[in-house]
């Protein structure tokens, strides 16, 4: 990794600000800015954070929610303890049945805010990277369909491009309110965007699974997490 890049990153404004103010990552300011614009945590008590490591979004949510609330973070990576009474973390894959069951137990079926900062391991092939990113965003959407209150907020990261445009339309089929937003804390050269949505529609319809999933051979059995994502309207 070039030493110049490391030097620039260490001196970058939000990176330094996070170190000074005790946040685990510069991403904390993206969520702060999202809240300042959309007020997503107003009156919120129960929050689910998908792709929560290293914990920057967990910190912000824990500060914003009402007393007696809960912020649950899920990630494939282990999240170091935050030492906050209202934060619980799960190390695991959100597609896993056991992880889903544990999440649903904590929320008793409903959450005020579901947010996803999930991103795939970048391989440098833009079409593949964007496709995999939107796949994660669709997984988050399907979880929101099951766990989010009708008037709850959904916040999800996507990479800008053709699949991003399709995904925004899918969100409009699911939610009454949908906005495309890039927080000032996002790097200027970054293609990431955050979609902010609210108010699930009563007649909503989940997007179809990716073609790759639809073409799975029957004898391979269901994919991990399919029991949560099945939609009789498909």
Catalytically annotated residues = 157
Distances (CA, A) of 32 to 23, 41, 58, 180, 215: 11, 10, 11, 16, 40
Q: Are 195 and 171 in contact (CB under 8 A)?
A: yes
d(C-alpha 108, C-alpha 117), whole Å: 23
Could you tell me how far CA 82 lies from the centroid of its own chain? 19
218-224 contacts, C-beta under 8 A, 24 or more apart: 223/95, 224/93, 224/95, 224/96, 224/97
Helix, strand, or coil (residue 63):
helix
d(C-alpha 147, C-alpha 142), whole Å: 9
Q: Are 40 and 113 in contact (CB under 8 A)?
A: yes
């Amino acid at each position: 990794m070039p030493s110049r890049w490391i030097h620039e990153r260490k001196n970058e404004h939000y990176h330094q600000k996070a170190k000074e103010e005790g946040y685990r990552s510069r991403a904390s300011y993206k969520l702060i800015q999202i809240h300042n614009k959309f007020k997503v945590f107003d009156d919120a008590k129960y929050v689910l954070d998908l792709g929560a490591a290293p914990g920057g979004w967990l910190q912000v949510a824990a500060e914003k929610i009402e007393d007696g609330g809960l912020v649950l973070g899920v990630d494939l990576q282990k999240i170091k303890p935050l030492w906050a009474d209202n934060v619980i973390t799960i190390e695991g894959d959100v597609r896993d049945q056991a992880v889903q069951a544990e999440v649903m137990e904590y929320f008793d079926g409903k959450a005020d805010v579901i947010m996803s900062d999930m991103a795939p391991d970048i391989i440098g092939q833009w079409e593949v990277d964007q496709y995999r990113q939107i796949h994660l965003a669709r997984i988050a959407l399907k979880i929101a369909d099951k766990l989010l209150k009708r008037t709850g907020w959904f916040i999800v990261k996507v990479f800008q491009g053709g699949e991003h445009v399709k995904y925004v339309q899918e969100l409009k089929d699911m939610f009454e309110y949908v906005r495309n937003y890039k927080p000032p804390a996002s790097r200027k050269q970054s293609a990431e965007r955050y979609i902010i949505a609210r108010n699930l529609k009563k007649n909503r319809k989940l997007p179809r699974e990716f073609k790759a999933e639809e073409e799975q051979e029957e004898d391979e059995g269901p994919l991990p997490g399919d029991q949560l994502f099945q939609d009789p309207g498909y």
